Structures are given as structure tokens and as C-alpha cells.
Amino acid sequence: MAARLAAVIRIEAIWLATEPLDMRAGTETILARVVKVFGAARPHHAYLFANKNSTRMKVLVYDGLGIWLASRRLNKGRFIWTNGDLMIATALNPEQLQALVMGLPWRTLAHDHAITVV
């Protein structure tokens, strides 16, 4: 997904919000949530949100000129999300994003690909 988005727009940072989002939310509502959770919508940053069941995901990207909003729904299974009790947001690298959208355990892929969870 990041590779496909990156072919159209540049993404320099990927942020995952841990608090569930109502998937009926549109661009303006999600943009307001980005500002609330992350402090600002920064150019070339992607912001990921999931619903309560982690079966749907929305990604908001600000490319410096406008807003992109994409969604993904799983027919089976769930996205492996974070524990919202510990943090409100976390940064992901492109490999972690690829694992996340495929439903794989992305948390084991540290920025240097070191195994950090056993």
C-alpha cells in the first residue's frame, strides 16, 4: 500500500493512532482527529486509524497541497493494532506498514529489522 501511495505522493513518515475511529468519519473529521492526536497534519505524513474491531482502516495523507483519504476493509481477520492504554500514537516504517496492512505482526519489525519481541 505504501509503495502504491508513494508512487503518487511522497510519504516521509507514517503514524498509527491507537484510539479507534468511527469509519463513517470523513476527511474533515479525520483531519481534526489528526490535529488533536498528533498536534498537526504535516506535509508528506500518513496517519492511520482503525475501527473498534480493527477490521477497517483509514489513512489520511497531507501532501502539502491537499488531503488524500484512503480506506481498507478486511473480509476476514483483523488488523494487528497497538494497545491504546500505553500510548496514543506510534511511528511506523514502510516495512511495518506493509506487514500491518497484510495482517502480520508488524511490531516485531523494528526500524533496523532487529527482533525486539519474543
Instruction: Reduce the DSSP state of residue 65 to 3 states and report it.
Output: coil
The CA distance from 28 to 101, in Å, is 24
Domain assignment present for residue 8? The answer is: yes
Question: How many domains, the chain?
Answer: 1
Domain assignment present for residue 115? The answer is: no
Domain assignment present for residue 47? The answer is: yes
pLDDT, tens digit (0-9, with 9 covering 90-100), for 34-63: 999 889 999 999 999 999 988 899 999 999
Domain assignment present for residue 118? The answer is: no
Domain assignment present for residue 116? The answer is: no
85 CB-near residues (< 8 Å, 6+ apart): none
Task: Give pLDDT < 70 ranges for the chain.
Answer: 1-8, 82-88, 107-118
User: Which secondary structure element, helix H or strand E, spans residue 102, and what is its range?
Assistant: helix 94-102
Domain assignment present for residue 66? The answer is: yes
Report which of 117, 76, 77 is spatially closest to residue 96, judged by C-alpha positions. Answer: 117
Domain assignment present for residue 113? The answer is: no
Report which of 48, 33, 55 is spatially closest to residue 91, judged by C-alpha positions. Answer: 48
Domain assignment present for residue 10? The answer is: yes
The domain containing residue 31 runs over which residues? 2-108
User: Which residue is listed with cell 503514524?
Assistant: 15
